[in-house]
Amino acid sequence: MAIDRKLLEILCCPVTKVPVKLLPKAKLKLVNDCIRDGEVRYVDGSPVREALADALITENDTTIYRVDDGIPVMLEDKGISTLQFTHF
């Protein structure tokens, strides 16, 4: 399910207030491959167990937020730091 463009225009990271954009499909695949391999953790330290259907990323490419059924999950402790990925 797609994210409403108007909503996307106003969303920002709850921590840094940096605007977000859609995570490109190639990077989404990279993240999901790492999730499948058990290598991805949320910022609270808990493992990410489910693949991301869609995701948002901050414009400075530091934090990813999952999108479930078209609804962005913009919770501080459920962000995914991009520092845990090589070649990101």
C-beta pairs of 41-46 under 8 Å, 24+ apart in sequence: 41/80, 41/84, 42/77, 42/78, 42/79, 42/80, 43/76, 43/77, 43/78, 43/79, 43/80, 43/81, 44/77, 44/78
pTM of the model: 0.93
pLDDT classification of 1: cutoffs 50, 70, 90: low
Q: Could you give phi then psi for residue 56, rounded to 5 degrees?
A: -115, 155
Reported as a single tens digit per residue, the pLDDT across 28-87 is: 999 999 999 999 999 999 999 999 999 999 999 999 999 998 899 999 999 999 999 987
